[in-house]
Amino acid sequence: MTTTTISWVGRDRLGDLTAHRLGDGGQGVVYAVSDPPGRFAGEYLAYKEYLPTVSSDPEVLYELVCFFDELRRTDRYDHSFLDKRLTWPIALVYTGVRPTQPSPRANPGTTVTGFLMQRITEEFELDSARLGKVKPQGMEFLLNDDGFTGSLGLDVDDGRRLRLLIDLAATLNRLHRHRVAVGDLSPKNVLFMLDPSPKCLLIDCDSMRLAGKDVLPQVETDDWAVPEAAKATPASDTYKFGLIATRLFNRHQTSTDLSGLRTVSSGLANLAEQSRNSAPGARPPMEEWLRALEQARAHRKKPPPPPPTQRHRPPVTPPQQQPVTRPNTGFQFPQQAPQQHNQPTQPTPYTPCTPPQRAPQRTPGPSTRASRRPPVRSAWSWSC
């Protein structure tokens, strides 16, 4: 049996928070932790403190912290991947009596005020003169025409947009595999970086649903709401992912026109259309999205074939046939005797082959010596 270590951090140990306020929202305020205490010393952390008017469930927040700690031991690969793409709660912050037990309900005099998480690094921040100050680099900036994004110093072509979608799909696919649904999935909650490689970062992770349990009541962003009553499910994440894919390529905040995505891949456009199906069960899972995105990227990486060229080809001369010669095998077929002029031509009857006859010897004259030459024989070649 494994034991999960839960870190409790007193709010009074986080230093002067008012001087390091980073931002606020409808659920709480986020502060930078300039000098993290204890085992978090030296880390780049932030503290999210819930508003007193917000009803949060500290037990589910405790389970979120336990989940990520257990994932480190049970699936190191997924933990390493998600750790770089989530601002997940890593410690509980409290006021009141110092806790002695891991679970909040086991510490009656302790009040959970919020949690520690990784702080957004500069790779996910946008420093543009047009904005006037540094802001989180949300994907919402990419849902505009190229002229506007270029004025912000963002050069994001279709190839980079496709890689951002792949990274987001891979993140959602892993979360769904571990029974986590994002819920409020919108470009405001998805930050991105471009260099050295496109990557996404999901914020507000305490609003995610783990195994059907919520820390906070589920909320949705305007123009990103699902048609069904059930919220924060893998099917609702797929619905909103289809909208992100559509609007990321048509470069619009609210349009559902698929023509921009279709220019990249007709298969992706079809998936985006299926993802908006009113029946949650008819929507494609994120695993199917991921495969289609990888295929679209592989297709874009292939260089186009060269255009056909007309080349002048010289006429081809057929090869001349060479006469067939037979090797001397020691036997020749009978041949006709040469014809004599002024003689009728008669067919030559077949006669058996006889050895060649020796030529008659000439009697040498008085002034010449007899020449004793050996008879000339034609080896293995007889006349018939």
CB 217 within 8 A of CB 111: no
Q: Please count the other Cβ atoms lying within 10 Å of the Cβ belonging to residue 111.
A: 13
* pLDDT in the model for residue 377: 42
β 8-10/199-202 pair status: unpaired
Tokens of 348: 């030559």
Residue 378: band (very low, low, confident or very high) from pLDDT cuts 50, 70, 90: very low
pTM score: 0.78
Topology of domain 1-119 in CATH is Phosphorylase Kinase; domain 1 (3.30.200)
Domain ranges of the chain: 1-119, 121-301
Domain covering 121-301 in this structure, CATH number: 1.10.510.10
pLDDT in tens, 149-191: 999 999 999 999 999 999 999 999 999 999 999 999 999 999 9
Strand partners, 94: 10, 112
Number of residues written out for the chain: 384
Task: Collapse the DSSP code of 382 into the 3-class scheme (helix H, G, I; strand E, B; otherwise coil) and give the result.
Answer: coil
Sorted by sequence, the CB contacts under 8 Å of residue 75 that are 6+ apart come out as: 178
Mean pLDDT over the full length of the chain: 86
